[in-house]
Structure 1
Amino acid sequence: MYLGVLALTAFVLTVFLLVYLGLFLGRLPFLQLDRTGVVLLGAIALVATEVVPLSGIGEVVHLPTLALLFAFMVISAQLRLGGFYDWVVVWLDRRALAPPVLLGAVIAVAAALSAVFSNDIVCLAMAPVLAQLCRARGYAPLPHLLALACAANLGSALTLIGNPQNMLIGEVLRLDFGDYLRVAALPVLLGLLSTWVIIAGLSRGHWLEASASLLPSALGRAGEVGVPLDRWQTFKGLTVAALLCAAFLWAHWPRDLLALAGAGLLLTSRRLHSRQMLGLVDWQLLVLFVGLFIVNHAMQQTGLPAQAVAVLADEGLDLQEPAPLFAASVLLSNLVSNVPAVMLLLPVAQAPVDGPLLALSSTLAGNLLLISSIANLIVVQAAARQGVVIDWRAHARVGLPVTLVSLVIAAAALLPWRA
């Protein structure tokens, strides 16, 4: 009996370590698996061996989080198909803003959109058009694209729907939408202001591309920007999003059910086919969530995580204290990405401060390294397609100070919660 339990624990631990090694490396050696594939393979191993029974998956997977995430993917798809994100950048271009002012406008717009819609989607939609805007005007694209990535990460920390890890934290810990917004508002706004100061300071004297002069932009002419604006489809998407945010603030109905109702309303369209809408849903991310729920549940059942937390507490690193939890969240978010980090740390989140602390620290940590956030990688890939190279040094020159300053601000804002 004892040997059987020991063998089962060893098996679960092996699967867990391989999954998180894959998350750290981005793949497993010699296998054509990305992070989602690695997690899925680990979950399949645990289900196939009945460590996690197939009939019990519904109890292991947190369905409200998945429902909320899926619903906002549908809303974002509505806006992408309606050309809203492209129109936003074209609108900025028509203002003919000077580079420092455009930098501030990009930060404000990216942050505002990311607070409601996924920061990844915002970067995916805006980065190519923003690069075109800068090139058309002779502006250096690098500072503006870095500002887009940093602001999208920062802005997504403002609400409990801004990114997947915040959705998870809000749903599992049942955080109040308005209470969290009041806690996060000041550190996020100060972080955004600091981002503009840092990037503007580093870009002084380097606002224009080499051998380029300021030209009237040609951006926005017919055929030159991705998706043309469909006013009715955009209006529908923005209206549903606004009504949902209002309901989250003032109604006490389940956020997941409200969001699903909004997504269902948008899917009942006479013009946009459901195949188009669902084709823009990030199914890989949803599969990643399901797999991580299974893998982490199996690991929790062994009792090893609780023992590790107890050992760390004996060594003076009690994860149930704000400072060690904050540091662990930042570290793990950069090692294995913020969603897996949050899933690992949620079981020790007991105090009222722990929810906002995990949401802010795990999200703000995404600006530290190029690989710390999917949003960063999306901007880099979009920039490369426009001939703009963003390597890890260029990103770190901005990302490191932005992350350190924003984390210090967040930590200071959370200090009054200690009592």
Structure 2
Amino acid sequence: MKQILQFFRREAVLCIAGALAVGSAFAVPPSGAYLDYIDFRVLILLLCLMLTVAGIRQTGAFTALCQGLLRRVHSVRMVGLLLVLLCFFLSMLLTNDVTLVTLVPFTLLLLEGIPRQDADRITIRLLVLETAAANLGSMLTPMGNPQNLYLYNRYGFSMGTFLSAIAPYSVLSLALLAGSCLLFLPVQPIAPPRAQSRIQSPGRLGAYCLLFGVNLLTVLRILNPWILLGVICIALLLLDRSLFRKADYSLLLTFVFFFIFVGNMGNIPALSGALQRLLQGRELLTAVLASQVISNVPAAILLSGLSEDGRALLIGTNLGGLGTLIASMASLITYKLYAATPGSQPKRYMGVFTLCNLAYLAALLLLYAFI
């Protein structure tokens, strides 16, 4: 029983999605039509991106890049600004969760040299800013986070349409993050990284970068996703089979469950019609609010089955990643890593995190009201 409860806490979104899918099957009995619900293109792209980025990360390229850059700055404020900018821009390509998994442990290690009386305050502020940067930077590209990839495919956005919808919010986000670093991080000396990591296998890094390019061609609809899957599988069998264990298969299964639930809801005309009328004209606000409770990835999948206003849902689910700790599941990565450190102050972290996220959310919603 204890193991079941632990699994539910660890995979709460997966369990909820599974329960919704099973519950909806009582109203719409399983059939071959269920296969039509599932967007295999999105699943393939998610899987291949996760595998490719895991390969790049395993070469040590990201850590080597960070350490090389950080040797050029020597104050907490400038180090913090550099790390926040790295989170913002790397998340556009690596996804927000991979960026945080890579940079947060490095940040905690780097800040060990700060005097104890200042360390807690600086660490919490910097980690909160890095988390916001990863969530806000990732919204500018289709591969930056799962809901973007799904909505990009679901509504058939062109890259130009996608960028025109999100770019204003990205520009303001970058300004807010940079200003926050200059305002809230102190001018205080900090020791550079003690050891310099090296790229473990330049040849493999080159191969993984080529595979990332193949992923990008598929995102842009130049290459068939099934060809991508074949190329990635063959390449990893030759390069490193252990990478197949690095993918987040629970996220893929969560997508499948939500596809089934949304598909079944669409086959109950009275229910879907009522929900569509309720949502009409309120897509963005509904997406923001729903993200606070169930996180922005499930919100994107559920609401996309009820509305054809993809632009509003795209903006709403990305802005909705700000707010509560579960609004973007990537935010939990930073919280768990910080909470596991000796002397951490989780309650204080939650307070700073919530205040910062709500302030950014308010600013971005104000921009939406003016555009």
For this structure pair, what is the TM-score category when the shorter chain's length is used for normalisation? 0.7 to 0.9
Alignment partners' CA distance in 2, 1:241 and 1:335: 33
Alignment partners' CA distance in 2, 1:157 and 1:142: 23
- Aligned 8 A contact 2:77 2:181 in 1: no
Counterparts of 1:77-92 in structure 2, within 5 Å, are 77-92=54-69
CA drift at 1:229: 4.0
Counterparts of 1:224-239 in structure 2, within 5 Å, are 229-239=200-210
- Aligned 8 A contact 1:65 1:167 in 2: yes
- Aligned 8 A contact 2:172 2:364 in 1: yes
One-letter amino acid of the counterpart of residue 191, structure 2: P
Partner deviation per Cα, 1:65-95 (whole Å, 9 max, x = no partner)? 1111111111111112112232233223322
Matched, 1:333 2:300: no
Matched, 1:219 2:211: no
Counterparts of 1:165-204 in structure 2, within 5 Å, are 165-201=147-183, 203-204=184-185
- Aligned 8 A contact 1:199 1:398 in 2: no
Alignment partners' CA distance in 2, 1:30 and 1:98: 42
Q: 2:311 aligns with which of 356, 362, 366?
A: 356
Alignment partners' CA distance in 2, 1:188 and 1:334: 20
Determine the structure 1 residue equivalent to 2:97.
120
Q: 1:67 aligns with which of 32, 36, 44?
A: 44
Partner deviation per Cα, 1:15-56 (whole Å, 9 max, x = no partner)? xxxxxxxxxxxx999977622123224434555x58342533
One-letter amino acid of the counterpart of residue 68, structure 1: L
CA drift at 1:152: 0.7
Alpha-carbon distance change, 298 to 257 in structure 1, aligned in 2, over 3 angstroms: same
Matched, 1:305 2:263: no
Alignment partners' CA distance in 2, 1:237 and 1:127: 23
Alignment partners' CA distance in 2, 1:39 and 1:137: 43
- Aligned 8 A contact 2:218 2:225 in 1: no
Partner deviation per Cα, 1:236-295 (whole Å, 9 max, x = no partner)? 22333245446755xx5256356535634641434x2x1x21111000100100011112
Alpha-carbon distance change, 380 to 359 in structure 1, aligned in 2, over 3 angstroms: same
CA drift at 1:141: 2.0
Structure showing greater radius of gyration is 1
CA drift at 1:186: 2.9
Counterparts of 1:223-302 in structure 2, within 5 Å, are 229-242=200-213, 244-245=215-216, 248=219, 252-254=221-223, 256-257=225-226, 259-260=228-229, 263-264=232-233, 266-270=235-239, 272=240, 274=241, 276-302=242-268
- Aligned 8 A contact 1:119 1:156 in 2: yes
Partner deviation per Cα, 1:319-356 (whole Å, 9 max, x = no partner)? 333xx211111011112111221122213433xxx323
- Aligned 8 A contact 1:369 1:392 in 2: no
- Aligned 8 A contact 2:81 2:181 in 1: no
- Aligned 8 A contact 1:72 1:263 in 2: no
Alpha-carbon distance change, 268 to 181 in structure 1, aligned in 2, over 3 angstroms: farther
Alpha-carbon distance change, 291 to 102 in structure 1, aligned in 2, over 3 angstroms: same
Alignment partners' CA distance in 1, 2:31 and 2:103: 41
Range moving further from structure 2, 27-36 or 356-365: 27-36
Alpha-carbon distance change, 171 to 52 in structure 1, aligned in 2, over 3 angstroms: farther
Matched, 1:399 2:357: yes
Q: 2:129 aligns with which of 129, 137, 147?
A: 147
Alignment partners' CA distance in 1, 2:224 and 2:217: 11
- Aligned 8 A contact 2:292 2:324 in 1: yes
Partner deviation per Cα, 1:106-132 (whole Å, 9 max, x = no partner)? 222212221122211111122101111
Q: Give 3-state SS (helix, strand or coil) of 2:321's partner.
A: helix
- Aligned 8 A contact 1:106 1:148 in 2: yes
Q: Report the RMSD for the aligned CA atoms in angstroms.
A: 2.9
One-letter amino acid of the counterpart of residue 38, structure 1: I
One-letter amino acid of the counterpart of residue 107, structure 2: L
* TM-score normalised over the length of structure 1: 0.76
Q: Give 3-state SS (helix, strand or coil) of 1:366's partner.
A: coil
- How many residues matched? 358
* TM-score normalised over the length of structure 2: 0.85
Structure 1 gap segments, 5+ residues each: 1-26, 209-213, 313-318
Q: Give 3-state SS (helix, strand or coil) of 1:269's partner.
A: helix
